[in-house]
Structure 1
Amino acid sequence: MAPSLALPVAAPRSSSPWVAAIKRSAPHAVRLTASAALVRRDLTVNDTQKVTLGVIAAYVVAIALLWNIPKIRVVLWPFKMLVIAFHEFGHALACVLTGGRVKSIELDPHEGGVTHMLGGKSAITLPSGYLGSSLIGALLMFCGFNIVASKVASIVVGVTFILTLWWGRRDWLTILTILLAMGLLIGCWFIAHAEALRYVVLFIGVMSSLYSVWDICDDLILRKVNSSDASVFAKRYGGSSHCWGILWSIVAVIFMVAAIVAAIAAFPQTAEQQRTDSSNFISTKF
């Protein structure tokens, strides 16, 4: 029989006092970490965000009043045309993404617009006007909580304007509306490191977010116009134009609320911090 070999086994080393202390405190540390994570998930609104929320509320009230008061509502006319441009851009983009071709975009002085398209999936292109402008508005509202984000948003909007300008190149009102809007955004870049830009982006966002709500109410409930996107959609795919209009309006409100909640979580910077950040991002000051 082969002799057995007994290998020496090292005795366990005693843990140092600080290692033992860590082991004893580990469960407590895990609990503290979990509690901290829960605290970070809580939505807290600082003073700067409170001001922004107050501005949004003031915009909603002002736009609602100006939208419906005769003669005075002419003040909103340029912004209505801008939001209608977003609406038509939504139709056009959906058409291109579903295999169609956009012939042209036209804006009407009487606050209307039309996108001439060939092909595309009408089940997508029809609701994309209201839903597209609602989504653009929600994204602008989100960016309107922060100056740097507003700068980025204005660049993206500028690209959107260029595309819309290309599709509407034969319509003087479309060209004028877009050029004036681009001029406004560019001008705001040079005021206090673009602080003014934030409030302009926020206003356009609120206007575009609520456009579908007020316009659907205007067309289908108050004036009962039968040539809206909702009525055409109902004729082709069933249901009531009022139901489709209300559904799209609810989606618009959901976009708006989601944008506000996301912005509160994403942009906790104070006004001073925002100005400092903006001065270091494509710095401009007039």
Structure 2
Amino acid sequence: MRTASGATLDVGRLALLLLMLGASWYFWDSPVLYPVKLLVVMMHESGHAIGTLVMGGSVDRVHLAMNEGGECMSRIPPGFLNMVVLYSSGYLGSAVAGAALMVATFRFQLGRAVMGAAAVWLAVMGVFYAGDPFTLVFCLGMAVALGLGTRFLPSVVVDALNLFLAAFTSLYALFDLRSDLWDSTRRNMTDAALLANVTWVPSIVWAALWSLLSVVLLIAAAYWSLHAKPRDGGGVRMPPVARARRV
């Protein structure tokens, strides 16, 4: 398949992405993925932190819980738009993170730089915003692990790890929204419920809207990434694969 710009569908990349999605789904409840789930929760809370700062507020602290919960304690100027941005930025932040990982790894082949940036992000969140010892230890521990990976892992392994994180983050964001959409007991304690109190729009409507936006964003990122042209010269290359032709 070829786009208007001449880029072709990379079947190998598509197969690898589907494999990562399948692995994430199959091993979802495995204890091995527990640190990855906490990492995605930190992405969610970081989205709230970024939303707070963008709207002129300040972040006091961020907490991660061992049960995969989290909260961002912040202060933001009063106002309808400020509250909408604050409560929406967590869910959308997770989807944006997954999309960015996918595009950076596939389209721009910046896997090593992305992993290094993730290490810096976790170190900053831990040092400046961690509100308890568990959050601090997790952030700094993961920052060290990603930093060592950036320095010592082969490029193909870095790309594979980034892609797995992108796939897992995408699934986690959608599963989280699914729970908020259908689980009535949980729906009353979510960002969607908080936003419903501000806007009078039911929380299920907000969850459905965020789900739709997340799906559209992730599909667009996957389409753009999987139709990328290989870069000539430097950069990390994915293994060579066969390309599909238009019939």
TM-score, normalising length: structure 2: 0.83
The counterpart of 2:83, out of the listed 122, 143, 164, is 122
The counterpart of 2:60, out of the listed 92, 103, 109, is 103
Partner of 2:38: 81
Matches within 5 A, 1:29-108: 41-45=5-9, 49-67=10-28, 72-108=29-65
Matches within 5 A, 1:183-198: 183-189=144-150, 190-192=152-154, 194-198=155-159
Structure showing greater relative contact order (alpha-carbon pairs closer than 8 Å, 6 or more residues apart):
2
- Residue by residue over 1:51-86, the C-alpha shift from the partner in whole angstroms, topping out at 9 and shown as x without a partner, is 32222212222322333xxxx432321111000001
Which secondary structure state, in structure 1, belongs to the residue aligned with residue 235 of structure 2? helix
Question: What amino acid does structure 2 have at the position aligned with 1:137?
Answer: G
| Rounded Cα–Cα distance in structure 1 between residues aligned with 2:200 and 2:25 | 31
Partner of 1:251: 213
| Rounded Cα–Cα distance in structure 1 between residues aligned with 2:144 and 2:171 | 24
Alpha-carbon distance change, 223 to 76 in structure 1, aligned in 2, over 3 angstroms? farther
Matches within 5 A, 1:168-247: 168-189=129-150, 190-192=152-154, 194-222=155-183, 224-225=185-186, 226-247=188-209
Give, in angstroms, the shift of residue 249 of structure 1.
1.3
Residues 102 and 167 in structure 1, CA contact (< 8 A), matched pair in contact too? no
| Rounded Cα–Cα distance in structure 2 between residues aligned with 1:43 and 1:146 | 11
| Rounded Cα–Cα distance in structure 2 between residues aligned with 1:80 and 1:137 | 13
| Rounded Cα–Cα distance in structure 2 between residues aligned with 1:53 and 1:224 | 37
Give, in angstroms, the shift of residue 223 of structure 1.
6.1
Partner of 1:163: 124
Question: What amino acid does structure 1 have at the position aligned with 2:120?
Answer: V
Structure 1: runs of 5+ lacking an equivalent: 1-37, 280-286
Residues 44 and 91 in structure 2, CA contact (< 8 A), matched pair in contact too? yes
Which secondary structure state, in structure 1, belongs to the residue aligned with residue 230 of structure 2? coil
Q: Which has more radius of gyration? A: 1
Give, in angstroms, the shift of residue 148 of structure 1.
4.2
Residues 180 and 204 in structure 2, CA contact (< 8 A), matched pair in contact too? no
Residues 131 and 248 in structure 1, CA contact (< 8 A), matched pair in contact too? yes
| Rounded Cα–Cα distance in structure 1 between residues aligned with 2:27 and 2:64 | 21
| Rounded Cα–Cα distance in structure 2 between residues aligned with 1:174 and 1:51 | 38
TM-score, normalising length: structure 1: 0.72
| Rounded Cα–Cα distance in structure 2 between residues aligned with 1:169 and 1:118 | 16
Which secondary structure state, in structure 2, belongs to the residue aligned with residue 126 of structure 1? helix
Question: What amino acid does structure 2 have at the position aligned with 1:198?
Answer: D
Partner of 1:112: 69
Question: What amino acid does structure 1 have at the position aligned with 2:112?
Answer: K
Aligned residues: 230
Alpha-carbon distance change, 39 to 138 in structure 1, aligned in 2, over 3 angstroms? closer
After the TM superposition, which of the residue ranges 216-225 and 237-246 deviates more from structure 2? 216-225
CA-atom RMSD in angstroms: 2.4
- Residue by residue over 1:172-194, the C-alpha shift from the partner in whole angstroms, topping out at 9 and shown as x without a partner, is 222232233323323333233x2
Alpha-carbon distance change, 195 to 39 in structure 1, aligned in 2, over 3 angstroms? closer
| Rounded Cα–Cα distance in structure 2 between residues aligned with 1:267 and 1:170 | 44
| Rounded Cα–Cα distance in structure 1 between residues aligned with 2:173 and 2:63 | 19
